[in-house]
Structure 1
């Protein structure tokens, strides 16, 4: 006999793929028991409103990554309002099989004159079966547990591994192994589809035939979490035929009460995997005009302190440097956040983004951000 139960209730759901936090609230909209095989459908996400003021020599962005907006200093004093970080996800669980899809609104479109429209953007779309994960989600090289709690979308990107892409992953105890979508950035290809049928023509690198290989070990204990990840990939573009490798070490250490210290360090030829937008995978050395695989050193640290059960602050710093192009960029911030209800949080954050690349007199911009987020 088929038993159908439809409920609308808030339920705590652990979703390791959720951004920045390992848990979120969700609304279970369907619970079907068919001869002992359960099917559950839940809807989750959050609505987030940001008010952000940026002032300094670096042009305004809704959030800092590792790039140089406009590639020139711009005297800036700009206030922006947006809800584009807000997101909606759906999870379907049927026995050992589940699917998860999530979208936010950073897909472009619209303007601030009349409609302020924002197109949906695919973040995650995965299938999970027992120890297997297939689909688009965070790279296995990315340590989610090391991301700080921030209002700026993603925190100090410049010091973090931060990429989503399609992959096939296998979990074995504390180990994770994955093959992931290959993409070499810096040879004129930006990895963007040229038509409705996907990446075609000149947008498809003719030599990208080897998936990126990633292995990661995760250790969990009463004192916190620690992970070590290794990345190996083929760089067969721009006249090169090389193997690039990188290492990431990250952790979240419980300290006093509910406080924690988080860190990550990335060394090697991580390229597009780290410090988003800071450097391409391959670059031309200005000293000899030779094409080379760029090396990047990046790190991020943060400390979160709870003043009360819900009132808390995070202070964070992230930075990265490159070897060939001699780029140096950093981002720091401090915030104060509180939960008005278990689902509704508000906060204020002050921080600074600085660029000190070779040949550029150090420039920076300060930012002040107010945010409210309702999780469901």
Structure 2
């Protein structure tokens, strides 16, 4: 037989389920101080890619040019995710997983492995654990069927960190990693400072990044295949970069989202676009993204976007554009269709893509 307390719990949960909106979770009150929340979404994508850039389930800053054009079609649900949050007074713990962890046999079961996205503890104004870098402004990510949309122009990175927030100002010590260099000597945390402005007009963030990166000096006389790639020395360099990003409300429910990043930002920008070190030189990157979302009515909307990134030392250059349309069939269920193109500009290669998505928010 149900107790009165448990009946109240079921009723509260049912009401929350009936009134939740997109990206909201379900809250279960355990006591005056304790609460458990869970949420996430199920997303199914049908994706077609055609051209001389190899198929990817979503575009990133890295890409492979093919010897000749190819076309590929896939249906998958890897972006599906689940999260849980436990709150006890001023303390909150959050964990989230999705299914981009690899694995999956397309011949038999497509059993993709789960992976950790976020795992952090928040106490008052301090956050410790793995989550989005403080250098990143998530409100400036456009709505798209392709995961995150034009990642070449985005700051897009999750990593371990300790962050302190004081009003509109944030400062963090984050995990160091010299991609393309001597990671064995990454002994100084990356430092990020950010200032946020917010109002009825929208929001804008100004971020600065400072870090130590280490080049790997190899022994050119070593002909032993087992040791020739080992670092015999490490040179430390200071890398500095900046970012401005935001979302500006325009007409009605429309908004304009933008990002601009410049400097020695390396792995922080473009999702694998370019390394922090190219040989013994620190890479310098310029990247940007612009996206406009228009609401045709209360539930039907479209986003047109363009993103680009260019690296000075390596000479890499990538760009992507897309246009889409999304409709909310219910408060929790949305469908969308998107077309676009991804380009490896310095190799004169490109692929067109079309993607149909259905997303059910838990």
Report if TM-score (shorter chain) is over 0.5. yes
Superposition RMSD on alpha carbons, in Å?
1.5
2:238 matches 1:260: no
1:119 and 1:127 map into 2 onto residues whose CA distance is: 24
Equivalent of 1:175, from 151, 157, 169? 169
Distance in 2 of aligned mates of 1:110 and 1:90: 25
Are 1:296 and 2:294 an aligned pair?
no
Residue 356 of structure 1, CA deviation: 1.4
Instruction: Indicate whether 1:85 and 2:85 are aligned.
Output: no
Match runs of 1:10-159 below 5 Å: 11=16, 24-28=23-27, 30-33=28-31, 37-69=32-64, 72-159=66-153
Residue of 319, 341, 355 corresponding to 2:344: 355
Say whether 1:212 aligns with 2:207. Answer: no
Cα distance, 1:23–1:47 mapped onto 2, change above 3 Å = closer
1:370 corresponding residue in structure 2:
356
2:227 corresponding residue in structure 1: none
Distance between the aligned counterparts of 2:184 and 2:158, measured in 1?
A: 22
- Among 178, 183, 207, the alignment partner of 1:229 is 207
Report how far residue 43 of structure 1 moved. Answer: 1.3
Q: Using a 3 Å threshold, how does the CA distance of structure 1 residues 73 and 302 change in structure 2: closer, same or farther?
A: farther
Give the 3-state SS of the residue equivalent to 1:152 in structure 2: coil
Compute the displacement of 1:342 (Å): 0.3
Match of 1:6 in 2: 9
Distance across 2 between alignment mates of 1:95 and 1:327: 49
CA distance in 1, matches of 2:272, 2:125: 33
Check conservation: 2:46, 2:76, Cα contact below 8 A.
yes
Rounded to whole Å, the distance in 1 between the matches of 2:14 and 2:164 is 33
Distance in 2, matches of 1:330 and 1:305, equals 22
CA contact (8 A) 2:43 2:359 kept: yes
Greater CA radius of gyration, 1 or 2?
A: 2
Q: How far is the alpha carbon of 1:237 from its aligned partner? A: 2.8
Greater helix content: 2
Residue 18 (structure 1) aligns with: none
Q: Structure 1: which 5+ runs fail to align?
A: 13-21, 190-204, 285-290
**Alignment partner, residue 318 of structure 1:** 307
Show structure 2 runs of 5+ residues with no match. 217-233
Q: Is the 8 A contact 2:283 2:313 kept in 1?
A: yes
Moved more, 54-63 or 275-284: 275-284
Distance 2:118 2:323 in 1: 29
Distance 1:350 1:232 in 2: 37
Aligned residues: 335
Normalising by structure 2, what TM-score?
0.90
Moved over 4 A (4+): 71-74
Within the candidate set 238, 245, 251, 1:243 is matched to 238
